[in-house]
Amino acid sequence: MNRTFLYESHLGLGSKFVNFSGWEMPIHYGSQINEHNSVRNSAGIFDVSHMNIFDFYGVEAKEFMRHVLTNDVNKIDDGSALYSVITNNEGGIIDDLIVYKFNNEKFRVVSNCSTFDDVNNFFESNIIKFDCEFRHKPSLGILAIQGPESEIALKNILKLELSNYKSFSFTERNKLFVSRTGYTGEDGFEVIGEPEELQNIWDLCISRSIPPIGLGARDTLRVEAGMNLNGTDMTIKNNPFESNLGWVVDFSDIERDFIAKEKLLEIKNTNKIKLVGVLLNEKGILRSGQKIIKDDFEGEVTSGTFSPYMKKSIGLARIPMDINENANVLIRNKLLNVKILSLPFIRKGKIMI
Amino acid sequence: MNETPSDLKFLDSHEWVKVDDNTVIVGISDHAQNELGEVVFVELPAIGDEFVSGDEAAVVESVKAASEVYTPLSGEVIEVNEALEESPELVNTSPYEDGWFFKLRVSDENLGSIDSLMTAKEYSSMLDGNS
């Protein structure tokens, strides 16, 4: 099993571990619920070094990105980031990712841990036609410092003024890459760098009582934030439009040719399925795989959990467009009432429903 | 860590039972609650439900997953721990006392099968073997 450079630190902090796609990662350090609420109310630090970093260099790096991503890097400036997906020729989602633009000839992509082979193959097979090369960077680690107090915490630790960096911008100083991005629905930062440097930042955070947060809370935070988890809320069998990600398919520049463009345009015009938020009005817990039923229409919960912040059960569900407002969910042979909601449930500590 | 009380009997699916004449109290072990993580919901049986040993009698849900609770003996539900509806975390904080799930009335005939369950010592060594 793979371990990150912080494994010993996690062990020392009382982590319970889980096998996450071949990585032995912290699931929690005692209380998933407390960790979750620390991020919503103050700040917390995550080790997400299992995720994949790819760096792209070359005179056609921008053209390559415009070809392989559904979203268009033309709309961002140097020093900014963009959320996107990559799809196969049929418009099926291979992965979601964040792309960081240094300049027209240098980009960085951070993608999911479990999809390494598919993503690597995808870049490898598509890059041939471009004057561009890429490298996987497994030696680099990633920390996420998330929560309303993350700016002040990180500013003191990094001795770096962060207030100028708006959401989805980044900087690189002395080999330390700092971006204002995350997967929690809160303000926050992700820091990429060499293990020694990140170990230092981790230790400083812990010594300043910024709690470590496991993958358990990472999952409940992202569900509350209405963010998809690849492999759970979407797979290669799903297109972006039925995955609440139509907004990351950018057709605005008619000159731009990108993978599955025609197919995605066709899907956009014919799609009858949506990914929405569901809130259980009754006692119980929503779980992935449960059926959503209304009249003759059926859908399915893709992620379901207890929301530690709302203290109710919430989930994401893929359902026909015909289901609106209310529906039933089938839990252990009982039909219970769910509310159909637009996502997110929570943004920056505020309940949106 | 909660000590494993010596007066309880255990199933390999991590339920415990406590016998008091013909009344049997059922809960889940400290090991089980620890593996589950923070319990956020418990679905209890209805009073009057009749179960055969091995039936799924309750459901315990943590933040991450749902697990069935099986009845170790055959009998009729005579009481459920209503405190778990408002405070499911009692399963974590007091698995052998305040976190009990339900009580069964068990006939003398059905009570005999209690001997096939594990003693606390046997259960502990089963857990040691697993770890």
Domain identity same for A43 and A192: yes
Mean pLDDT of A192-210: 98
Quick check: is A210 in a domain?
yes
Q: Are A136 and A53 in contact (CB under 8 A)?
A: yes
Q: What residues in A contact B41, CB-CB < 8 Å? A: 283-285, 306, 313
The Cα–Cα gap between A135 and A130 comes to 15
End-to-end CA distance of chain B: 16
Query: What ipTM does this complex have?
Result: 0.89
A103 SS3 class: strand
pTM (two decimals): 0.95
State how far the Cα of A112 lies from the Cα of A51, in Å rounded to an integer. Answer: 5
CB contact under 8 A, B37 and A306: no
**Is-contact A279 A299, C-beta < 8 A?**
no
Residues of B in contact with A313 (CB under 8 A): 41
H helices of A128-194, in order, are: 150-158
Cβ atoms of A305 and A223 within 8 Å: the answer is yes
- Give the model's pLDDT for residue A235: 98
- pLDDT for position B130: 59
Instruction: Provide the domain limits for residue A347.
Output: 272-351
Residue B82 sits in a domain of what CATH number? 2.40.50.100
- Using CA atoms of B117, B122, B125, B129 in order, give the dihedral in degrees to the nearest 10: -40
Residue A285 domain-assigned? yes
CATH at A212? 3.30.1360.120
Question: For chain A, what is the domain count?
Answer: 3
Q: Give the number of domains in chain B.
A: 1
Instruction: Tell me how close the Cα of A47 comes to any Cα of chain B, in angstroms.
Output: 20
Do both A125 and A244 map to the same domain? Answer: yes
Token pair for A245: 């990600």
Least CB–CB distance from B37: residue in A32, A287, A332:
A32
Range of the domain at B122: 9-109+117-130
Query: Does a structural domain hold residue A230?
Result: no
Predicted pLDDT at B2: 63
Assess B43–A contact: CB distance below 8 Å, yes or no.
yes
3-state secondary structure of A340: strand
**Tens digits of residue pLDDT in B102-123:** 999 999 999 988 889 999 999 9
**Interface A:B, Cβ pairs < 8 A:** 38
Share of chain A above pLDDT 70, in %: 100
- In A48-165, which ranges are E strands? 52-57, 80-87, 93-103, 106-111, 133-136, 141-146
Are A304 and A287 contained in the same domain?
yes
- Which residues does chain A have within 8 Å of residue B59's beta carbon, measured at their own beta carbons? 332
